[in-house]
Amino acid sequence: MEILYNSTRSENAPVKASEAILKGLSPDGGLFVPDHIPALDVPLDELAKMDYCQTAYEVMKLFFTDFTGQELKDCIARAYDEKFDTKEIAPVVEKDGVFYLELFHGATIAFKDMALSILPHLLTTSAKKNNVKNEIVILTATSGDTGKAALSGFADVEGTRILVFYPKNGVSPIQEKQMVTQKGKNTRVVGIRGNFDDAQSGVKKIFGDRELSQELDAKGFQFSSANSINIGRLVPQIVYYVYAYGQLLKEGKIKAGEEINVTVPTGNFGNILAAFYAKQMGLPIDKLICASNENKVLYDFFRTGTYDRNREFVLTSSPSMDILISSNLERLIYHIAGNDSDKNRELMTALTEGGTYSITKSMREKLADFYGYYADEEETAETIRDLYQKTGYVIDTHTAVASCVYGKYRKETGDTKPTVLASTASPFKFTRSVMAAIDTKYEESEDLELADMLSQISKVKMPKAIEEIRTAPVLHNHLCEKDEMKQAVLEFLSK
C-alpha cells in the first residue's frame, strides 16, 4: 500500500517518499510524516534469520513505496558494506543485565552513520526519479556527530554539495578534528559563534527563505537536509530496533512476541522517535525510556506536559545532547494531536514566539508509552566508572546518560523486562570525559594519547576514524556569527 507524506504544519497535498527525501523540510516549515504507519509484515520469528541488510529492506520497503525493490536493495547494499568494522553492522552486547545496541561501528564511530551511510544513495536515487537537474545542496546543523557522518557520506558524491554548521565551542575536540579534516571538493565546514540551537534555527531559517530558494534555483541549486528532520534519515533509524529484536530472538534471550523496553539518550528526539515508529509498526516494545542530560527540556516535558526552552543552556560532557529545541518532537506532537496540523502549527508558533507550549490533557494521555528522566554530570561519570569496574566494558558519555536513566527507571518501577539500550557513540570519540570518569589521573593527557590509553584498558582496537585524524591536516577553518549563516551559504555556492 502506497505511503504518502504530509507536512506537520499544513494540509498541503501529500508528496511521495522520494519527494519528501529531496525536500528535507516542507516549504511551510513543517516536517514530513507518513500518512499512516505501516505494519511490519514479517513474522517476528523470521527476524532472527535476517542479517542487517535484509532487515533494512523489510522495513524501508514499507515506507519508501515509490522506490522499486531493486533501487532500495542497491541503496542498502552500498550503505551497509565494509565501511562498518563488523559484519553485524549493529551488534548487541549484553553487559550487567542490559543489551547495549552498538550503533558506532561505521566510518565516523557514531550512530549517525547508520542512517547517513544510506541517505546519499536515497537522495541521488530520488533526484533521478524526479528528473532533478539542479545540484543538491545539503545544509546541516550538527551538535557533533551528524556533521562528520554527513560529510563522510556525501563527500564527492556527484550532483551534491554539503555545508555543515557546528557550534565552535560546543563539540568535543575529536568531533571537531573529524569535521575540519574532512576531504572532498564538495564539502565545507563552518563553526558558528553560538550553540547548536542557534545553528539549527539558522538552517531552518535558510530553508524557509523563499527568495533565496528562487535565487539559487535560477543558478541551478536546491536545498536538502541531512539532519533527522529529513524522513530519509529517520526511517533507516527504525531498522536497528527491529534488527536488535531479531538478534535477541536469535540468541535465545527473548521469545517471539515478548515485550522489551528501549532506552535512548536523546537530544533532538529523532533516535527515540524511530523506536516509537518501530513500536507503531508492531514490534513488541513496551516502554520508550527517554534519557536527557542536564539540558533536561524533554524530561520536564514528559513530567509536566509543558515544553519550555527558556532556560540556561548547559555545556556538558555529552555534547550531542546539548539541545533545547528538539526538532523531531514536532512529529510526535503532530501524531498525539490526532494528525492535526492546525493544532501542531499553533504549538510550534508558540514555541518560536515565546519559547514554550503546553499540550492538552488528551495529548498527554497518549504519551503513556514514554518515560523521561535525566542524568547530571557526576552521575554520568559514575556510570562509566561503575560499568568499567564491574565488567571491563567502556561506554561513552551519551550511552552513560542512558544507562544511568535506565537504572533510575528500574528502581522507580521495578520493571525488569529485557531492555535494549542505544549505545550511540564510541567512547573513543569522547576520550577526555570517558578516561577522566574512569580515573582522574588521566585528566592531564592529550586527547589522542588518551585514545591510546583507552585502547589499552578496554582491550578494544583503536578505531580507524581516530587513527586517520592523528596526522590529517585541517582543511576547514571557516567561522561566522550566527546571523551570518546565509552569507556563508552564498559564499560556498559561489566557488
Q: Which of 83, 87, 95, 112 is catalytic?
A: 112
Query: Contact 303/372 with Cβ under 8 angstroms?
Result: yes
Query: Is the pLDDT at 124 greater than 80, yes or no?
Result: yes
Supply the DSSP symbol for 441. Answer: G
Cell numbers representing residue 412 in the block: 522507580
Q: What number is the average pLDDT over the span 42-52?
A: 97
Query: Contact 410/263 with Cβ under 8 angstroms?
Result: no
Work out the pLDDT band at 445, boundaries 50, 70, 90.
Answer: confident
Of 248, 240, 235, the residue nearest 44 (C-alpha):
248
Look at residue 12 in the predicted model and tell me its pLDDT. 87
Taking only the tens place, the pLDDT of each residue in 290-343 is 999 999 999 999 999 999 999 999 999 998 899 999 999 999 999 999 999 999
Query: Contact 222/216 with Cβ under 8 angstroms?
Result: yes
Of 268, 288, 243, 493, the residue nearest 405 (C-alpha):
288
DSSP for 104-130, please give it. Answer: --STTSBTHHHHHTTHHHHHHHHHHHT
Query: Is the pLDDT at 32 greater than 80, yes or no?
Result: yes
* Residue 257: Cβ within 10 Å count: 9
- Between the two ends of the chain, the Cα-to-Cα distance in Å is 44
Work out the pLDDT band at 145, boundaries 50, 70, 90.
Answer: confident
Residue 265 host element (H or E): strand 260-265
Query: Contact 93/87 with Cβ under 8 angstroms?
Result: no
Burial 125-151 (b: 16+ CB within 10 A, else e): bbbebeebeebbbbbbbbbbbbbbbbb
Taking only the tens place, the pLDDT of each residue in 353-408 is 999 999 999 999 999 999 999 999 999 999 999 999 999 999 999 999 999 999 99
Q: What number is the average pLDDT over the span 434-463?
A: 91
Cell numbers representing residue 366 in the block: 497518549
Of 269, 195, 188, the residue nearest 234 (C-alpha):
269
What's the pTM? 0.93
Mean pLDDT over the full length of the chain? 95
Query: Contact 154/443 with Cβ under 8 angstroms?
Result: no
Of 404, 406, 422, the residue nearest 276 (C-alpha):
422
Look at residue 355 in the predicted model and tell me its pLDDT. 96
- The residue behind cell 534519557 is 291
Q: What number is the average pLDDT over the span 411-434?
A: 96
Task: Calculate what percentage of the chain has a pLDDT beyond 90.
Answer: 90
Give the separation between CA 325 and CA 338, rounded to whole angstroms: 22
Q: Check if 112 is active-site.
A: yes
Torsion sign across C-alpha atoms 352, 337, 259, 54:
negative
Q: What number is the average pLDDT over the span 438-464?
A: 91
Query: Is the pLDDT at 272 greater than 90, yes or no?
Result: yes
